[in-house]
Amino acid sequence: MKKLFAVIATLASLFVAGQAFAADIEIKDAWTKASIGKVRNGAAFFTVTNNSMTADRIVGVRSDLAEKTELHTHIMENNVMKMREVEGGVDVPMHGEVMFKPGSYHVMMIGLKAPLKQGEMVSVTLEFEKAGDVPVMINVMDAMSKGPAGMDHGNMEHNAHKSH
Ligand SMILES: [Cu+2]
């Protein structure tokens, strides 16, 4: 009986502390912009939430949409904003959230095989170190879009109430 309990306890602790599953990863508000003219690159944005009890890391991305699909970020170099491929992956803390957004992390599609059309859904696959493959369904929005409604807090209008 004691032995059985020990086995159960060990299994339980493994389950709680050592594992992460694709089901624990939540992707929200995934969007990209429709292609304009002959532009053959695209960038996709979304919010990643890790609902598991263990930290995870996005180590790669792949898709059939483009010749190359990469994890990118922006860095400042000599006062110029530049895009770079992410080195070493993107950490997603346990019970944490990471935002892929313009000017920051994004999924870069280089050499699109077909233009992205407004209203379409396209997909890429994020590769997590622990949770494995997580598909991302991406909403193709208007080429001038700044993202799903409610995400662009920077442009929110404020009602200033003056007190007398
Ligand atoms: Cu990029």
- Has residue 72 been placed in a domain? yes
- Has residue 13 been placed in a domain? no
Q: Kindly report, residue by residue over 86-119, the tens digit of the pLDDT.
A: 999 999 999 999 999 999 999 999 999 999 999 9
- Has residue 164 been placed in a domain? no
Q: How far is the CA of 73 from the centre of ligand 1 (A)?
A: 6
- Helix, strand, coil shares, percent, the chain, to 5: 15, 45, 40
The CATH number of the domain holding residue 77 is 2.60.40.1890
Q: What is the mean pLDDT of residues 122-139?
A: 97
- Has residue 16 been placed in a domain? no
What integer pLDDT is reported at residue 160 of this predicted model?
Answer: 41
Based on C-alpha coordinates, what's the Rg of the chain? 20
Q: How far is the CA of 100 from the centre of ligand 1 (A)?
A: 11
Boundaries of domain holding 80: 32-142
Q: What is the mean pLDDT of residues 45-53?
A: 96
- Has residue 74 been placed in a domain? yes
Q: How far is the CA of 87 from the centre of ligand 1 (A)?
A: 13
Q: How far is the CA of 85 from the centre of ligand 1 (A)?
A: 7
- Has residue 46 been placed in a domain? yes
pTM here is 0.79
Given a cut of 50, whether residue 138 has pLDDT beyond it is yes
Q: How far is the CA of 12 from the centre of ligand 1 (A)?
A: 41
Number of H helices, E strands in the chain: 1, 10
Q: How far is the CA of 84 from the centre of ligand 1 (A)?
A: 7
How many angstroms separate the Cα of 92 from the Cα of each of 34, 53, 133, 162?
Answer: 28, 11, 14, 42
What integer pLDDT is reported at residue 9 of this predicted model?
Answer: 61
CA neighbor of 41 nearest in space, from 108, 120, 101: 108
- Report the number of distinct structural domains present in the chain: 1
- Has residue 60 been placed in a domain? yes
- Separation between Cα atoms, residue 69 and residue 138, nearest integer Å: 14
